[in-house]
Structure 1
Amino acid sequence: MDLLTFEEYRFDLSILSAFCSSADVYNHTDSEFLKAENNQNREAGSTASTVVLVGDRLVVANVGDSRAIICRGGDAIPVSRDHKPDQKDERRRIEDAGGFVMWAGTWRVGGVLAVSRAFGDRHLKRYVVADPEIHEAAVDKSLEFLILASDGLWDVVTNEEAVNMVKPIEDPEQAAEKLLQEAYQRGSADNITCVVVRFLAAQDSNTRE
């Protein structure tokens, strides 16, 4: 997305600033991550998903397969996109940079990494970028809660299942713990990180009704 020519956001400089800041922060974090890993003989990496509240908008940024889901009007709605090497646009970007994508249990960059964007991963950095994909969502009375989680959850729990588990739990920390326990019980083999955020406007509306 070219933020300087994207007409929909020209009228709101605060949203434009949040978009640009998110991109800058992600690339700065990637640079610092690589510096910290330098000369340590490690090739570590990490995905990320972040949300910034700007007025009545959520600005959502992510790299990799950490995912953001909102519950609006009772429905599970993804507000981020997992970055996988076999996606047409991601594969083209990787190949244009001189890399390749191959099947090794799943589609992988260079036959190694199963995500196409991430922090770190120095050995594949030319192809595995830290440029975030950025989306936005309106904050209104229909927006009930947000789930941010790593693929340790999403590998074994669908978006709809996660939303249905959170719905009856008012306390967001307890809701996040429920999701973590469910992923663990289902045999998730990856790290599991989860945050749940409830929105007061929806709660106040439900109380008045």
Structure 2
Amino acid sequence: MACNRGVKEQEDPSAASAAPAPAAVARARAARPPRPRSRKGLGVRHLLKPCRFLAAVQRANARVREAGEATLVAALAAAQKESERENEVVADVCGGWKSEDGSLNCGYSSIRGRRVNMEDFYDIKSSRVDDKQINFFGVFDGHGGTHAAGYLKQHLFENLLKHPAFIGDTKSAMSQSYKKTDADFLDTEGNIHVGVGSTASTAVLIGNHLYVANVGDSRAVLSKAGKAIALSDDHKPNRSDEQKRIEDAGGVVVWSGTWRVGGILAMSRAFGNRLLKQFVVADPEIQDLEIDGDTEFLILASDGLWDVVPNEHAVAFVKDEDSPEAAARKLTEIAFRRGSTDNITCIVVEFCHDKMVDGSPPSTNKS
């Protein structure tokens, strides 16, 4: 067979030359370009891409987890707050007072509420001037501290009684006495407590004539023939006439959570507040009226009540109670339960018409 193969190779020399040697085949295969593979195999991956991808996934998961935790924490906090509100004990100071002649029956209630400090004060006084029975009622809502409200409680009605025109021209005497009390406070304590101030919602009853004076955003509401009648208009900076007065004096009213004078004070009239005195005045707005058979009771209260209880609701709640003392306590409790975040103080004065005559002064004063 070897001979035959050799003869055949000699007979067909072209076939022998066409068959490549094994080494040549190997070199040809090495030079041949690689065969195409799947698309997945063609991509060239950067070594950092997997790390970046994993980091992005981790950050996304962290954000989702944080959002979920924040939502859960907020929900738990809200539930806890609501539970605390339902179970919280309302610790207050309340009581009652009656005039000796029986013409007035009064109740009062004052609570710190959810504020850290108590800055509300109230005052109830009785006196006689020229054989006339005089009764004073006041609610003072302090801000920036207690000094201004405490000063009003001590001096406001005292200054009014000393005014020579108190009986003959009561409205003028009230206006002048209130301004004097403000000036006295600024002279004696205002330099020390420059940011301290207070509102004042007050009522003076001379015989059967009622005078109501208001400075700030505390309020007086009268019940007459079953209807709620506001005897004061809150001194808010965005009240059109108040805003004009402030701007005419060179001040500004801006929004900062609520409308504020100079972005600071949320009322346009107050006692004290030396730094804003050019714009925040202590001029009272005064209403006067005769107490007749349709006049049932008067409510004086700080804005801790009025922020959450409308005038009509307050009157309805008082009418449902048997006494002014119970009514005053109910009003403060309702305001607290409705979520008032301020101190809450109110006075309820009931007029007993069958005994509305000048009588001897009561034996005690409450304040």
> What corresponds to 2:298 in structure 1?
146
| Aligned mate of 1:167, from 319, 322, 331 | 319
Q: Alpha-carbon deviation of 1:190? A: 1.4
Tell me which structure has the larger Cα radius of gyration. Answer: 2
Aligned residue number for residue 116 of structure 1: 268
2:285 is aligned to: 133
Residue 158 of structure 1 corresponds to 310
1:82 pairs with one of 229, 234, 238: 234
2:340 corresponds to which residue?
Answer: 188
User: 1:38 corresponds to which residue?
Assistant: 190
Q: Distance in 2 between matches of 1:36 and 1:171?
A: 40
Taking a change above 3 Å as real, the CA distance of residues 141 and 114 of structure 1, as seen in their structure-2 partners, is: same
1:91 aligns with 2:243: yes
Relative distance call for 1:79 and 1:171 in structure 2 (3 A) is same
Aligned counterpart, 1:53: 205
Equivalent AA in structure 2 for residue 187 of structure 1: G
Q: Is the 8 A contact 1:142 1:202 kept in 2?
A: no
| Counterpart in the other structure of 2:225 | 73
Q: Gaps (5+ residues) in structure 1?
A: 1-12, 205-209
Distance 2:248 2:352 in 1: 46
Larger helix share, 1 or 2? 2
Instruction: Tell me how far 1:37 sits from its aligned partner.
Output: 2.9
Is the CA contact 1:144–1:202 (under 8 Å) kept in the aligned structure 2?
no
Percent of aligned pairs sharing the same letter: 57
- Is residue 166–residue 174 contact of structure 2 (8 Å, CA) maintained in 1? no
Partner SS state of residue 193, structure 1: strand
The answer to whether the 8 Å contact 2:197/2:272 transfers is yes
Q: Give the superposition deviation at 1:27.
A: 1.0
CA contact (8 A) 2:237 2:261 kept: yes
Read off the aligned partner of 2:314 and give its amino acid letter.
A
Q: Secondary structure at the match of 1:105?
A: coil
Q: Which one of the candidate residues 331, 349, 359 is aligned to 1:179?
A: 331
- Give the aligned partner of residue 4 of structure 1: none
CA contact 1:49–1:66 (8 Å) conserved in 2: yes
Q: Relative to 1, partners in 2 of residues 1:202 and 1:126: Cα closer, same or farther, differing over 3 Å?
A: farther
Normalised to the residue count of structure 1, the TM-score between the two structures is: 0.85
What's the offset of the Cα at 1:117? 0.3
CA distance, structure 2, for counterparts of residue 23 and residue 175 of structure 1: 31
Q: Write out per-residue CA displacement over residues 58-97 of structure 1, whole angstroms, 9 at most, x where no aligned residue.
A: 1110011110001011111101111111111111111111
Separation in 2, partners of 1:202, 1:158: 30
What value does the CA root-mean-square deviation take over the aligned residues? 2.0
Give aligned pairs, total.
192
Runs of 4+ in structure 1 deviating by more than 6 angstroms, as ranges, are 13-16
